[in-house]
């Protein structure tokens, strides 16, 4: 396996606008209760019992993570996002919906993936990853060989990797990366399979913005073989 943590450097801002009172309270009180602990991880460490787990990389404002967690309360959901304002968004969804099956990591998803046992995840989501459109920044894209090796290792056989984007350069890059692998089977029969959002795929903020701008959005589902 090539070293997946070589892209583990995070780029961009961690903090946007200042937090309001209620938001600071969520960060100070709820976040410590839901934070992924240090050290080796598994379902018992994270959720207190053995249950199927799913992980979202870069959940943005957390609406997809919370939506999935609400749909499947018997599963454990791990959300990773380095951006504090995104963390606040997720905490608000979790508090409003009284979700007890979500754990959060404010940082690089690779740090969490690296500490999970192999073949421990039912699903991994990567929705609208930062595109890094310049060719010289291609190594910063999450979909590269190292991180995909890591995702492949952590998914159970038959587990699912979902990836969505509206960015043509990212799609071309992703297709190139995925077509070189034999450990994922793309779930596609007709163009509708990647042009139409599956029913259980919650719309994200970036996706809504892309649609508003008139962009096409593409939805990819791969099963771990
Ligand atoms: C373009 S936004 C999309 C957010 C959300 N998925 C959506 O669709 O609305 C990409 C997000 O990925 C996060 N991100 C970038 N690199 C990451 C990494 N290595 N681990 C976890 N999150 C990451 C960024 O902070 C940012 O919030």
Give pLDDT < 50 ranges for the chain: 1-8
- pLDDT (tens digit, 9 = 90+) per residue, 26-65? 999 999 999 999 999 999 999 999 999 999 999 999 999 9
Which residue numbers are catalytic? 130
- Picking from 173, 107, 165, 172, the residue whose alpha carbon sits closest to that of residue 140 is 173
- Specify the residue with its C-alpha closest to ligand 1, atom 11: 58
Binning the chain into helix, strand and coil, the percentages to the nearest 5 are 40, 20, 40
66 and 90 in contact (C-beta within 8 Å)? yes
List residues forming the annotated binding site: 56, 81, 108, 130, 134, 166, 204-207
Substitution candidate for ligand 1 out of 81, 107, 197 with most atoms within 8 A of CB: 81
pLDDT of residue 2: 40
CA of 118 from ligand 1 middle (Å) equals 23
| Tokens representing residue 82 in the block | 């380095």
Q: CA 70, CA 75: separation in Å to the nearest integer?
A: 10
124 lines ligand 1 (CB under 6 A): no
pLDDT of residue 1: 40
How many CA atoms within 13 Å lie on the side-chain side of 148?
Answer: 23
150 lines ligand 1 (CB under 6 A): no
pLDDT of residue 16: 66
| Tokens representing residue 62 in the block | 């957390």
Q: Where are the beta strands (DSSP E) in 28-108?
A: 53-57, 76-80, 102-105
Q: What residues have CB less than 8 Å from 22, skipping those under 6 apart?
A: none
CA of 126 from ligand 1 middle (Å) equals 8
- pLDDT (tens digit, 9 = 90+) per residue, 208-219? 999 999 999 999
Task: Residue 215: count other Cβ atoms within 10 Å of its Cβ.
Answer: 14
CA of 162 from ligand 1 middle (Å) equals 14
pLDDT of residue 20: 83
Q: Which CATH superfamily is domain 4-224 in?
A: Vaccinia Virus protein VP39 (3.40.50.150)
Task: Residue 71: count other Cβ atoms within 10 Å of its Cβ.
Answer: 10
* Domains in the chain: boundaries: 4-224
Residue 51's φ and ψ, nearest 5 degrees, are -150, 160
């Amino acid at each position: 396996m090539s070293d997946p943590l070589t892209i583990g450097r995070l780029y961009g801002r961690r903090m946007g606008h200042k937090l309001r009172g209620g938001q600071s309270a969520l960060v100070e009180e709820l976040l410590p209760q839901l934070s992924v602990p240090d050290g080796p991880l598994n379902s018992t460490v994270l959720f207190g019992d053995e249950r199927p787990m799913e992980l979202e990389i870069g959940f943005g404002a957390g609406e997809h993570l919370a939506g999935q967690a609400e749909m499947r309360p018997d599963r454990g959901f791990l959300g990773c996002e380095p951006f504090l304002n995104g963390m606040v968004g997720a905490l608000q969804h979790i508090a409003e919906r009284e979700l007890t099956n979500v754990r959060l990591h404010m940082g690089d998803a690779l740090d969490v993936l690296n500490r999970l046992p192999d073949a421990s995840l039912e699903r991994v989501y990567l929705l609208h990853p930062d595109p890094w459109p310049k060719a010289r920044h291609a190594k910063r894209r999450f979909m590269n060989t190292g991180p995909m090796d890591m995702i492949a290792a952590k998914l159970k056989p038959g587990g699912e990797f979902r990836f969505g984007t509206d960015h043509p350069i990212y799609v071309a890059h992703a297709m190139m990366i995925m077509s070189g692998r034999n450990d994922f089977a793309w779930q596609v029969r007709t163009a509708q399979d990647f042009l139409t959002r599956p029913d259980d795929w919650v719309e994200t903020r970036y996706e809504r913005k892309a649609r508003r701008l008139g962009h096409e959005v593409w939805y990819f589902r791969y099963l771990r073989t």
